[in-house]
Amino acid sequence: MSSSSSTVQASLGQVAEKLTRTNYVLWRAQVTPQLRGAGFFGYVDGTMPEPVKFLTTKDKDGKEEKTPNPLHPIWFREGQQVLGYLLNTLTKEVLVQVTSIA
């Protein structure tokens, strides 16, 4: 996971060709190396799993305590920024199809 969620926006550039119904191979050839090079491809292929929301620790008496995992909000923010980046690489026609399925 990256150290800063703002890194997503700074690391990923624009694509020359937005995704249409007929140019997937070209679009993928542009997007994949950008995501891999920036270290964010794991959000797309599932190798960046969601961290647990809470960490369980034991206090001095052995009682379990749950505390928020500081990695979870970072993972969520970066994932949303990757999603936003990908949505911005789609043509309007494809975007309408994608958002109507979700």
What residue ranges do the domains of the chain occupy? 23-101
Per-residue pLDDT tens for 38-62? 999 999 999 999 999 999 999 889 9
| CA–CA distance, 90 with 51 (Å, rounded to integer) | 29
pLDDT at residue 5, as a whole number: 47
Alpha helices in 3-91 (DSSP H): 6-11, 24-38, 42-45, 71-87
Q: Which residues contact 87 (CB under 8 A, 6 or more apart)?
A: 95, 98, 99
Q: CB atoms < 10 A from the CB of 85, how many?
A: 22
- Total-model pTM: 0.83
Between 8 and 16, name the one with better pLDDT: 16
Average pLDDT, the chain: 92
Amino acid at site 86: L
